[in-house]
Amino acid sequence: MLTVNLSSVNVEQRTVSVIAGGAVIALINAHRAKNIQESVVRYIEGSVLFYCNIICASYHTVMHFYALCKMRRCSESLEMMESTNDVSQFSELLQAFRDRYNCEAEYVVKSPGRINIIGEHIDYSGYPVLPMAVDECIYAAFSVNQNSEEITVCNTDPKYEPFEALYSYFITSCKNLSWKDYFLTGVVAAMDHIEEYQYKASEDAEVKLTFKGFKAMISNKLPERRGFAISTALVCCAAACTMVAVGDGNFRTITKENLAELCSQYENADLVRGPMDNLICFTARQGAFNPLRLDDVTLPPNARFLVFHCGLQSTKNAMFPLFRKRVTECRLATK
């Protein structure tokens, strides 16, 4: 994916810096862009928006990402932006953050959902799969608490209750999982790496990681219980927020692939599952698989995927016994 630094945007010159990075983290210059909807539209009008479909052949992963490049006007770019609902979701999210915390958000993390084109119950058996990231995503707007380890998280949807936690002490449930549990799972996954890095890093290490809390506002446009891996998107979103808060938003101390693996391990602690859902949230550039390998393949320009919902909801409690059964069947089939 790409890390887009919006703080370097000069509206008059209409330029946008694009920086290669980890999960899509947009650094918002709140002072220069009070009306984020108007500002984002102005940036897009003066830029070319590349909407890229990338199939990673070895791991068979399809990724969508958006790249803003300083060039010329492109009427298609604004239409593409509107089709993803990014502008309205950004605006509503940042306003909700202001209303809740009485300050401006420093960062925005974008974590996409996914659908599976090919591959179920084979990634943990070492075979390639084909998940595809979708336009709909989870956004987290947040600011770092410089003098506190407290984490405060709210949601633009009032049915999800706000919660607070500390790095040093919090409890996640293993039954009747709530959105809080999934978010904190991502925090724990990042903490696993942070604590190991702090233990091994020398005093003169270039990157210093310090536990700092953050206050966040979550916005979700992913349909629930429709097989879009919304829980995984939330876990990865939380892990990315944590990495930014502790001082490594550019993933200098851990690769995106390794952080995705940690997220998968903690999210699926009681299930035998592969990391494909987590990798789709984090990875769109060359990496490795078994060892992980990601190779970009261009789709035909007119290629389209049509996704239909059968009308039945997928509940996790009902799915787990069937999932475990299929894991057992896969193992028996290889003997």
Pick from 161, 174, 151: nearest CA to 245 = 151
* C-alpha pair distances (Å), 243 with each of 61, 238, 249, 254, 256: 24, 9, 5, 10, 11
Cα 77 to the chain's mean position, in Å?
A: 23
Residues 308-325: what's their mean pLDDT? 72
| E strand spans, the chain | 2-10, 15-20, 24-27, 47-56, 61-70, 107-118, 130-145, 150-155, 163-166, 213-220, 296-298
Alpha helices (runs of H) in 142-224, residue ranges in sequence order: 179-200
| CB hemisphere CA count around 333 (13 angstroms) | 9
Contacts 24+ apart (CB under 8 A), 315-321: 315/225, 316/177, 316/231, 320/271
Residue 102 has pLDDT above 90, yes or no: yes
**Which among 229, 258, 254 is positioned nearest to 243, based on CA atoms?**
254
The class (CATH top level) of 2-333 is alpha beta
pLDDT at residue 152, as a whole number: 94
Q: 3-class SS at 47?
A: strand
Q: Of 43-47, 172-176, 244-248, where does mean pLDDT reach its minimum? A: 43-47
Residue with the bigger pLDDT between 126 and 149: it is: 149
Q: Give the CA angle between residues 32, 74, 298 to the nearest 5°.
A: 110
Domain-wise residue ranges, the chain = 2-333
Whether 114 shows a pLDDT value over 80: the answer reads no
**Alpha-carbon span 278 to 292, nearest angstrom:** 13
Distance between CA 143 and CA 42 in Å, rounded? 24
What is the per-residue pLDDT across 255-314, written as a single tens digit (0 to 9) for each?
887 888 888 887 765 444 555 556 655 553 333 344 555 556 577 888 887 777 777 776
Q: Which pLDDT score is estimated for 250?
A: 83
pLDDT the model gives residue 242: 92
Both tokens of residue 41? 């539209």
Residue 68 contacts residue 43 (beta carbons within 8 Å): yes
Residue 196 has pLDDT above 80, yes or no: yes
Give the per-residue pLDDT at 294: 56
Least confident of 74-83, 124-133, 190-199: 74-83
Asked if the model's pLDDT at residue 11 lies above 70, the reply is no
pLDDT of res. 284? 38
Question: What pLDDT does 220 receive?
Answer: 87
- Distance CA(252)–CA(110), nearest Å, equals 19
- Global pTM reads 0.62
Overall average pLDDT of the 166-188 stretch: 77
- The predicted model gives 46-63 an average pLDDT of 26
Note the pLDDT of residue 314. 67
286 closest CA partner among 330, 255, 240, 247: 255
Q: What is the pLDDT of residues 26-49, one digit of tens each?
A: 333 333 333 333 333 333 333 222
Contact of 271 with 328, CB cutoff 8 Å? no
pLDDT attached to residue 163: 92
Give the confidence band of 24 by pLDDT, cuts at 50, 70, 90.
very low
Torsional sign, CA 263, 274, 175, 226: positive
Handedness of CA 282, 287, 288, 292 (dihedral sign): positive
Counting Cα atoms < 13 Å in the Cβ hemisphere of 117 gives 17
Higher pLDDT, 168 or 22: 168
